[in-house]
Amino acid sequence: MLGLGCLLAVVVFFHADVKPAATVNFSYTGFVNEVSSNKVSTATITSAGAVSGKLVKGEAYTSQIPIALDDTALTPLLLDHKVQVTGTNASATSVLGLIEDLLPFVLIFGALIWFYRRSRKQMGGGLGGIMGIGRSKAKVYDEDRPTTRFADIAGYEGSKAEVMEVVDFLKYPQRYAAAGAVGPKGVLMVGPPGTGKTLMARAVAGEAGVPFFALSGSSFVEMFVGVGASRVRDLFADARKRSPAIIFIDEIDAIGGRRGPGGFGSNDEREQTLNQLLSEMDGFEPGASVVVIAATNRAEILDTALLRPGRFDRTVEIPLPNQVERTAILGIHGRGKKLAGGVDLDAVSRGTPGFSGADLANLVNEAAINAVRDRRDILTAADFDAARDRLLIGRRDASNALLPEEKHSVAVHEAGHAVVAALSVNADPVAKVTILPRGASLGVTEQLPISERHLYRQSYLTDSLTVRLGGRAAEILVLGEPSTGASNDLAGATDLATRMVREWGFSIDIGPIGYGPEGPSRDNPFAGRPYAEETQRAIDREVATLLRDAESRATKLLKDNRATLDRVIELLLDRETIDGAELATITGDAQAVERELVLLHRAVRRNPSPLAEWGAAGPI
């Protein structure tokens, strides 16, 4: 483009130079006098009698010979005074002059056409401009497909089998036709963020021997009404031309949200796009082998018409990985990295419950960054521990120094959590206790489950409440008053107790009724509180009772084991961090005594309380 501009500038300026601004126009008499005075250097005479040329001084001149005069003496006069005479045809001169005059304008006009076409191509291809705004923005993987394969995805064997069956149907449709089977039109992949839905789609592209159209839901929507519907039509038209093919739509909730009250509205661009998508999925020809694979982590907001059979026939759940899958995922992300001999990926996976595949990738990367900080290229078990603490707890803040009394208060608080957790029968074991500030926390008691749970008994939840209130109970017992350090504990305990009463039916007074969360729901987007004010007061009373009972149990545990509590406080003030094994050694004897007392008391009790009747653990 820069070269074209320079060329135009040269042409324009050159054209200006060859046509001087000052030209002398002589009458015929004046022209003859100039020739007689030897002032004329050249003369170009046309058949129409027009004369032009240059004077001896270099100036240009023009004149006109009267044709009726038929002056025969002019030619000898020019020759006698050594004027270089040239004769031209008038029409040829006029044509050349016209071409010379129009050349710059032709070049400029051509440049404008070239720029217009180039802009149209660019705007239609990727910038979402006016010219090609209705075209599909899908990226097509055909011969050059991603290198990801199902072997690169750890675990999820059931999910991979579901998706691989779709690929197999597209590659070998005759097998299914022989059995009278019809392949699915759509597969919806549902799972929390970071579980690998897009990675699974890339593996489909890598495994499939068919064209693969990939784009996100937001690519359909623009500020212009009707653009999304046009792009849907264009996408499916391209897929049908190249069938069998796969269309992958990531984050389909961007266009597939439910319509109607609480939805997008009757005239919204997204609704028109969704309607077109529904029409296209219904409009597949019987022989058109086109399968739509979509991914979302918000399946609850999708329109029901999108999920009916005939559109998205299958829903593939991609949940958070279990421990075995986490170990395999860590092994994949550990490829190409130097791991020390003491690194046990199985132990790392046990310490990362609830981590998604993306979280595990981030964990390995953080461990590598920690090794680089220490100027090493080998990752040790300490690097993985530091990376996990950074992700779960926060960055170690060395600048947040505590006052001596604050440090003692934090030690008392965290020791209360740790001792109550260690002495509670159903609580998760403590992995680490620290009073070093991390992130927004001044201290942390980290608990990690021995095995992953999918169901939570009431006894486990009751002990969880007790552990959450153990820090506040320790402050009241040792310091004589609570502090603001328990604010997060109270918020978490209140939320847990509220769900126990309102959603899980863990209350005799309220009964086995699940009211669900407050606010709009899928079936009723305008709903508020789904129960009466009197019911809310009863729920508040039950929640308060659960929290008071939990604080009473924590206080009794700490009073009965005051020596153990003081020992843990002393070690925290001295070392600032205690690991779970050392804490288990300190609290081992006390824990054995407490459990024996609990079992003995349960055996001789004749009238157990309602909570104990449901399996509540802990001292009475």
Residues with catalytic roles: 414
Outline where 172-313 has alpha helix (H).
173-178, 197-207, 227-241, 253-256, 269-282, 304-307
Separation of alpha carbons 367 and 348, rounded Å = 11
Strand 212-216 versus strand 245-250 pairing type: parallel
Strand 577-579 versus strand 430-434 pairing type: antiparallel
Separation of alpha carbons 326 and 385, rounded Å = 16
HSE of 227, CA atoms in CB hemisphere, 13 A: 18
- The Cβ of residue 2 has, within 10 Å, a number of other Cβ atoms equal to 6
CA 359 to chain centre: 14
Q: How far is CA 431 from CA 385, 388, 583, in A?
A: 11, 12, 9
Separation of alpha carbons 478 and 407, rounded Å = 14
Torsion of CA 516, 520, 523, 525, to 10 degrees: 170
Residue 96's Cβ-count burial label (10 Å; 0-12, 13-18, 19+) is exposed
210 Cβ contact list (under 8 Å, min separation 6):
167, 170, 171, 244, 245, 246
Which position has the token pair 């459990």? Answer: 595
Which position has the token pair 């050059």? Answer: 144
Residues 155, 324 contacting (CB under 8 angstroms): yes
The pair phi, psi for residue 142, each rounded to 5°, is: -115, -95
